[in-house]
Amino acid sequence: MLLPTQAEVLEFHKLLATSLEANLSSGGSAGPSPDLLAAATKNPGLIYQANEIDGVTPLIVSAKDMEHSKWLLEEGAPWNAVDRAGKCAGNHSTDHNIQPLIDLHCTHATRSELILSQTLRNGFNILNVNEAKESTDIDYAPCTKKDYLQRDIKYSGTDQLLDSDNDAVMMEWERPLMSLHSEIICQPCTLPRVVLNVGFGMGIIDTFIQERLTDKDTHVIIEAHPGVYAKMKADGWCDKPNVIVKFGKWQDVMEEFGGAYFTGIFFDTYAESHLDMEDFHAELPRILKRGGIYSFFNGLCPDNIFFHGVACNCVKIQLESLEFEVEFEGCEIKVKEGDWEGTRRKYWHFDQYFLPVCRYLGEGGGKGGGGEEKEEKEEEEKNVPPSKKQKT
Ligand SMILES: C[S@@+](CC[C@H](N)C(=O)[O-])C[C@H]1O[C@@H](n2cnc3c(N)ncnc32)[C@H](O)[C@@H]1O
């Protein structure tokens, strides 16, 4: 495909503006003009090319117009191209508050991302996920780090855990969120509860879990970083009577658990990709009781609210395919500018947090995680953690 020159791009944008105007005055019946269609047929690169002035693409220019947006998306315009202000067409449709267009972009983006994810899974690493090189612009440097577990971490005061690049692994401002997550995964239950947390970090959620569980319940923690594990040991986590600490990557430790074992699970690791998270999700039906609750730290695409929405949609669809019922509970969270002091960059940019509540409805697990059914004693015994007496 011939890459259009800037002059051609600007000419195309002019044709587009005229076509949009004509479509507007026809009440949406005109659609893309013959001149516009002819130009795009002659040089298909014009469909996705941004102008150099403000980085605006034809799809962004068309953010108020259904007929042009549909046509451009069908012709391959990328939904996620952003202008210099960091906004994609979906952000602009959201700003204009035009629901049918927001839905069009969201549906198209979700479908595209699910296909992309499957493509990557099939071995076509077209984006070099996990292999992205350090960018000179910190905002674009990858947050997935293959060697994170081999590098140093440091607890900075009581309110930050930093990696060796001073990227924040965990921060104190997340405390109220961790409290809400812990409440959801420690739901009341007729059985002794067995709750799993993957990723100890600053131990914030584990402290809340301890407060919510009784000595009849079991609390399992998986942690892979030697520095974090050393802190857990020093702070006495390995000696608590109802706590089982598994040191290792969840990828290596999970196979020890099975047979509808947990009543609640929380997942919050660091430096891993969305493909790792999908792999974790695939394990859930094997280890979560029917009616059990799964939740995760929802830091998906945290710097663009439209991308965030699309990512939440993708996870919801993937978890639904594993027989989960998925809801996102909105809650306010305000992070003060000063909280980021000492960290290399922010990893959260919104005032609202969408807390995932995922209830397992499938048959893969046993009954009773939700507390609505009384379990037979035999069943309970079957679910006693195999390694309860062998703490790591
Ligand atoms: C964001 S912190 C968790 C914070 C925790 N939710 C809290 O309340 O303090 C992520 C943790 O996951 C750990 N981690 C990263 N990759 C892991 C893996 N593959 N398996 C287990 N733990 C992992 C990190 O070492 C880190 O301690």
Distance 386 CA to ligand 1 centre (A): 23
**Which of the listed residues 68, 96, 124 is the one where a domain comes to its end?**
96
Please give the number of the atom of ligand 1 that sits closest to the Cα of 153: 25
> Is the domain of 179 the same as that of 274?
yes
Res 368 pLDDT > 60: no
Regarding whether 366 and 277 lie in a shared domain, the answer is yes
User: How would you classify the pairing of strands 218-223 and 160-163?
Assistant: unpaired
Q: Pick from 96, 112, 127: which residue ends a domain?
A: 96
Q: Indicate the number of domains in the chain.
A: 2
Q: Same structural domain for residues 85 and 159?
A: no
152 assigned to some structural domain: yes
Evaluate if residue 347 carries a pLDDT over 70. yes
More confident residue, 234 or 124: 234
Q: Are residues 200 and 349 in the same domain?
A: yes
Residue 390 lies in a domain: no
| Tens-place pLDDT, residues 203-216 | 999 999 999 999 99
pLDDT band at 137 (very low <50, low <70, confident <90, very high): low
Rounded Cα–Cα distance for residues 362 and 282 (Å): 13
Per-residue pLDDT band at 377 (split at 50, 70, 90): very low
Tell me which of 152, 164, 270 to substitute to probe ligand 1's pocket, judged by most ligand atoms within 8 Å of the beta carbon: 270
Dihedral of CA 256/271/210/261: which sign? negative
Within 10 angstroms of residue 294's Cβ, the number of other Cβ atoms is 26
> Looking at residue 139, what is its pLDDT?
63
375 in the same domain as 302? yes
Both tokens of residue 89?
A: 């067409």
Does residue 71 form part of some domain? yes
Judge whether 64 lies within some domain. yes
Closest CA to 359 of 217, 184, 191: 184
Mark which of 69, 96, 123 sits at the end of a domain.
Answer: 96
Q: What are the pLDDT digits (tens) for 317-326?
A: 999 999 999 9
- Bridge partners of 154, per DSSP, are 162
- Domain containing 89: what range? 6-96
How many angstroms is it from 163 CA to the middle of ligand 1? 12
Confidence of residue 99 (pLDDT cuts 50, 70, 90): very high
358 and 269 in a common domain: yes
Q: Which residue has the tokens 């923690």?
A: 221
What tokens does 381 get? 């015994």
Residue ranges lining ligand 1, Cβ < 6 Å: 169-170, 178, 198-205, 222-225, 228, 249-251, 268-270, 272
Shared domain check, 167 and 92: no
Specify if 47 maps to a domain: yes
The pLDDT assigned to 293 comes to 97
Residues 6 or more apart whose CB falls under 8 angstroms from that of 157 comprise none
**Identity of the amino acid at 207:** T
> Per residue in 45-85, pLDDT tens?
999 999 999 999 999 999 999 999 999 999 999 999 999 99
Q: Whose CA is nearest to atom 18 of ligand 1?
A: 249
374 C-alpha vs ligand 1 centroid, how far in Å?
34
The atom number, within ligand 1, closest to the CA of 249 reads: 20
Distance from C-alpha of 81 to C-alpha of 77, rounded to nearest angstrom: 8
- Rounded to 5 degrees, what angle do the CA atoms 311, 315, 316 make? 115
Tell me the CA–centroid distance for residue 202 and ligand 1, in Å: 9
Shared domain check, 251 and 186: yes
Q: What is the pLDDT of residues 306-316, one digit of tens each?
A: 999 999 999 99
CATH number of the domain that 39 lies in?
1.25.40.20
User: How far, in Å, is the centroid of ligand 1 from the Cα of 252?
Assistant: 14
Same domain, 165 and 90: no
Q: In whole angstroms, what is the distance from residue 43 CA to residue 40 CA?
A: 5
Does 81 map to a domain? yes
Closest C-alpha residue for ligand 1 atom 2 = 201
Q: Which of 221-225, 253-257, 348-352 is predicted most confidently?
A: 221-225
Q: Are residues 76 and 156 in the same domain?
A: no
With respect to residue 140, please indicate whether it lies within any of the assigned structural domains: no
For residues 22-36, give the mean pLDDT: 96
> Does one domain contain both 85 and 174?
no
Report the pLDDT averaged over residues 341-366.
90
Residue 392 lies in a domain: no
Q: Which CATH number belongs to the domain containing residue 178 in this structure?
A: 3.40.50.150
pLDDT for position 219: 97
Pair (36, 163) in one structural domain: no
